[in-house]
């Protein structure tokens, strides 16, 4: 059972985490939700389309203008409080690697700390434990936040992913983060080249076999673009194909830009696997 905030999710229940970037330079939307009103509209739309989690980020993942902890908090804390006020039942996640920001957003009502940079600040898990918040434990290949991988190599990429993510998850649990609120993430693109991310996807069942809920962040990423030779705005089909494979292999949480399309993919896979009945079943019965 996955428990996040006020919500509980059955092991076979796919969960959508909708991305809301509070940045002026996001690789995907180029600042479309930097201002409050468009960002709040995005939350409303995502919830209506089936997102159970809203993931709020105040710093672009890739290289760019320096954003210190104070500015990251300015972009996220008040917004978290407003989303909590408007949507008391939604799960609020904040994408941060800094414990200072984690402390502030948890006080404002965040339920999950999405640590995409692999525990680079070990105090972040301590913050999650103190507030009873969930945490995402990600493999980032040991790179510094906001840097791109350069000639990264692994003897066995999945072995490294498992060692790091399970280690971070066990540490978080030992600190007091509820085990049912801890997720592991292979970290597609983070500290990896395209072949590494493809292999991580192909071998995703090795992560789900650990028993920890697996989160995947696939949406429009570079490994999809390089695999198909497509620019950012033409990666939806590749993203959805990767989503379907990940769902078949047992991932539970999906961090996405396109909520409605992802919902259909996840529902279809769940029905094929026998975990969800068809929404309508009239064929051959009349």
Coil/strand/helix, residue 56: strand
Pick the closest to residue 97 from 65, 125, 131, 66 (CA basis): 125
Domains in the chain, CATH or no CATH each: 2-273 (3.20.20.20)
Cα–Cα distance between 199 and 94 in angstroms, integer? 28
User: Using one digit for the tens of pLDDT, what is the confidence trace for 48-103?
Assistant: 999 999 999 999 999 998 999 999 999 999 999 999 999 999 999 999 999 999 99
Cα–Cα distance between 234 and 1 in angstroms, integer? 35
What predicted TM-score, i.e. pTM, was given to this entire model? 0.96
Give the helix/strand (H/E) hosting 134: strand 134-138
User: Using one digit for the tens of pLDDT, what is the confidence trace for 206-260?
Assistant: 999 999 999 999 999 999 999 999 999 999 999 999 999 999 999 999 999 999 9
What angle is formed at CA 199 by the lines to CA 152 and CA 124, rounded to 5 degrees? Answer: 65
Pick the closest to residue 169 from 115, 102, 106 (CA basis): 115
Mean pLDDT is lowest, of 6-20, 23-37, 108-122, for 23-37
Torsion of CA 225, 117, 168, 21, to 10 degrees: -80
Which residue's structure tokens are 């404002």?
108
> What residues form DSSP beta bridges with 8?
3
- Cα maximum dimension of the chain: 64
Residue 222 has what pLDDT?
97
Asked if residue 25 has pLDDT above 90, the reply is: no
pLDDT band for position 28 (cuts 50, 70, 90):
confident
Please state the rounded mean pLDDT for residues 114-119: 97
pLDDT band for position 30 (cuts 50, 70, 90):
confident
Coil/strand/helix, residue 88: coil
Pick the closest to residue 135 from 151, 147, 150, 118 (CA basis): 118
Cα–Cα distance between 25 and 47 in angstroms, integer? 24
Pick the closest to residue 16 from 167, 231, 240, 179 (CA basis): 240
* Mean pLDDT estimate for the chain: 96
Contact of 88 with 109, CB cutoff 8 Å: no
Residue 100 has what pLDDT?
98
Residue 32 has what pLDDT?
87
């Amino acid at each position: 059972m996955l428990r996040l905030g006020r919500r509980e999710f059955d092991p076979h229940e796919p969960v959508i985490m909708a991305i809301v970037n509070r940045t002026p330079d996001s690789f995907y939307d180029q600042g479309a939700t930097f201002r409050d009103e468009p960002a709040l509209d995005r939350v409303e739309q995502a919830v209506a389309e089936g997102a159970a989690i809203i993931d709020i980020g105040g710093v672009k993942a890739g290289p760019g203008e320096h954003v210190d902890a104070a500015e990251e908090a300015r972009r996220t804390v008040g917004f978290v409080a407003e989303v909590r006020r408007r949507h008391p039942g939604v799960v609020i996640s904040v994408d941060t690697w800094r414990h200072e920001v984690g402390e502030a957003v948890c006080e404002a009502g965040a339920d999950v700390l999405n640590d995409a940079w692999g525990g680079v600040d070990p105090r972040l898990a301590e913050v999650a434990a103190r507030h009873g918040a969930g945490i995402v434990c990600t493999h980032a290949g040991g790179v510094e936040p906001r840097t791109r991988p350069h000639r990264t190599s692994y003897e066995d990429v999945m072995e490294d992913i498992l060692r790091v993510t399970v280690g971070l998850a066990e540490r978080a649990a030992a600190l007091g983060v509820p085990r049912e609120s801890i997720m592991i993430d292979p970290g597609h693109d983070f500290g990896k080249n395209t072949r590494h991310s493809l292999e991580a996807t192909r071998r995703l069942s090795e992560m789900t076999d650990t028993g920890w809920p697996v989160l995947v962040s696939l949406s429009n990423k570079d490994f999809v673009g390089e695999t198909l030779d497509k620019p950012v705005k033409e990666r939806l089909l590749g993203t959805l194909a990767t989503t379907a494979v990940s769902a078949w292999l047992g991932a539970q949480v999906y961090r996405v830009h396109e909520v409605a399309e992802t919902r259909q993919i996840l529902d279809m896979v769940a029905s094929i696997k026998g975990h969800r009945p068809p929404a309508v079943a009239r064929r051959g019965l009349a």
